[in-house]
Amino acid sequence: MANEGEDINSILEWLAIVSGSAEKFNSRIKEAQEQYVKQSQAEDKSFSIFETNDVVANYFAQAKSHAEQNRQATDILAASKILPWVRQLGRHVNILSKIQGAYDRAEKMLKSETVNPSSTMFELIMAANYATTDLSVSFINETDKKTPDFELSMAQTKKRVFVECKRLERGTYQKNEELRHEQIFRAVEPLLLKTRRSLHIDVSYADDLSEVPNDYLIGHLEKFLSLKIILPTGYPWKDKYGDGRIHPANADAIIAELRESSLYCGPKMARLLSGITVGENHYHLAISGIDDSRDARFLDKFYYGSVITWRNNSDKSIGRKNKRILSKLAEADAQLATSGAGIIHMAMEMEADCPSSDVRQTRNCQTLEKFAPSSNLLAVYLHYLVPRVSEQRSWLIDENVDAFTAIAKDLNPPRIFTEAELSENLLPAWKQKAF
């Protein structure tokens, strides 16, 4: 924790200087912390720090709150997406001053309030990672013309290689899919609470969610409740919309946990109830209990509660999500076309323990194998990231990389999180066991 806090504080101090006014920067951070505490304790907690008035301040406020061990101002879910990036950049804070253009790139990010810092953080981190080798790194001035992010050069040969970094955030289709399932959950939530039972509904969809009726889960829950005898394996179903199962949830695990402390109404609660790893945007909780008086996001007493876990394995869903790979790849290739030899880094989040993640990786590889670049493309690195909210830490990202390259290893620091321990089981990030 000591090194973690030092890395975070070091980069926040550097960013405060870069901003042009450390006092104003720190004031923005403090205001974002206060805003988060106020919003998170409100009855309606359905807000995102990435949709606030000052996204940049809220992003770095999460890092500040974690370093200060300010629990009330820390968004446990958002922190898992932010802290690994902030800490990785903090590890190389001394290198940033030696990278031409890094100061200007960070300053432009900090002057904004509405732009998600994720893309700039990716660029700064990869530039710093390359700079830890014998390569000289310099950012390319941004103009109206699309250009690569930075260039690498070798002192001995003066050979230049240009690098473009692309972060693939959740697209419109994925966001709409998650919002649609929120509607399906809200329709069944009253019945779940009315039963005064603790249940786990697990469903895999085989169709686009826009085709799934609003009362889809209500119908199957009513059938389950009408059963005279419940089998140990629960109530299974399969129809044109998908397949699923309803069975008792592990309420005892929640009760046992609450003997020691209060429990955050989030992934760990969903995991305890269901007994499986849950994806960040792929579970819903319907809980009855008493909130912790110190923090309304935590539960102090549990009466009963249910969890819904879901995924969409349909070809349409997976296909729509993968279309963004090709479009971003073509965009990056076009940015490199007029510059010279180039490298592309693309980072994307994957769902843990989800069959569709395997399909997405396969289709990504097929896309790369068929792609005909217009630039002198030396390598493409696909970074697969799985943010975790672990039992011990609120920051952790599993990463693995698919490399499409024939270049020498001295041009190849492909990983984003260079200090992370590598697993020995050769499984992809989305199949690593949570701890």
Measured distance CA(83)–CA(395) in Å, rounded: 6
Q: Could you please report the per-residue DSSP string of 360-376?
A: HHHHHHHHHHH---SSE
Average pLDDT over residues 330-348: 92
Average pLDDT over residues 76-94: 90
Average pLDDT over residues 346-364: 80
Largest CA distance in the chain: 79
Alpha carbon distances (Å) from 189 to 47, 151, 192, 201:
20, 53, 5, 12
Q: What pLDDT does 390 receive?
A: 54
Residue 1 pLDDT greater than 50, yes or no? no
Measured distance CA(81)–CA(69) in Å, rounded: 17
Q: What pLDDT does 423 receive?
A: 57
CB–CB of 328/346 below 8 Å?
yes
Average pLDDT over residues 12-17: 96
Q: What pLDDT does 412 receive?
A: 53
Residue 387 pLDDT greater than 80, yes or no? no
Span of 340-354, 357-371, 409-423 with lowest mean pLDDT: 409-423
Task: State the Cα angle at 348 between 209 and 338, rounded to 5°.
Answer: 120
Chain segment 22-66, per-residue pLDDT in tens? 999 999 999 999 999 988 887 665 667 877 789 999 999 999 999
CB–CB of 82/121 below 8 Å?
no
Q: What pLDDT does 276 receive?
A: 87
Residue 413 pLDDT greater than 50, yes or no? yes
CB–CB of 380/372 below 8 Å?
no
pTM value > 0.95? no
Measured distance CA(25)–CA(339) in Å, rounded: 36
Measured distance CA(422)–CA(401) in Å, rounded: 12
In this prediction, residue 14 has a pLDDT band, given cuts at 50, 70 and 90, of very high
Residue 362 pLDDT greater than 60, yes or no? yes
Span of 172-181, 236-245, 346-355, 376-385 with lowest mean pLDDT: 346-355
Q: What SS3 state is found at 406? A: coil
Measured distance CA(42)–CA(333) in Å, rounded: 46
Measured distance CA(208)–CA(204) in Å, rounded: 11
Q: Are strands 160-168 and 341-349 parallel, antiparallel or unpaired?
A: parallel
Residue 431 pLDDT greater than 70, yes or no? no
Measured distance CA(430)–CA(311) in Å, rounded: 14
Helices and strands in the chain: count of H runs, count of E runs? 13, 12
| Phi, psi angle pair for 209, to nearest 5° | -65, -20
Chain segment 284-298, per-residue pLDDT in tens? 999 999 999 988 899
Chain segment 171-223, per-residue pLDDT in tens? 788 889 999 999 999 999 999 999 999 999 999 999 999 999 999 999 999 99
- Mean pLDDT score of the chain: 87
Residue 254 pLDDT greater than 50, yes or no? yes
Q: What pLDDT does 433 receive?
A: 62
Residue 111 pLDDT greater than 70, yes or no? yes
Alpha carbon distances (Å) from 286 to 72, 167, 188, 249, 363:
23, 33, 10, 12, 35
In this prediction, residue 163 has a pLDDT band, given cuts at 50, 70 and 90, of very high
User: In sequence order, what are the residues at sequence separation of 6 or more whose Cβ sits closer than 8 angstroms to the Cβ of residue 334?
Assistant: 146, 374, 375
Q: What pLDDT does 2 receive?
A: 47
How close are the terminal C-alpha atoms of the chain, in Å? 17
Q: Can you give 301-325 as a three-state secondary structure string?
A: EEEEEEEEEEEECCHHHHHHHHHHH
Task: State the Cα angle at 291 between 71 and 1, rounded to 5°.
Answer: 20
Q: Could you please report the per-residue DSSP string of 276-296?
A: S---TTSEEEEEEEEEETTEE
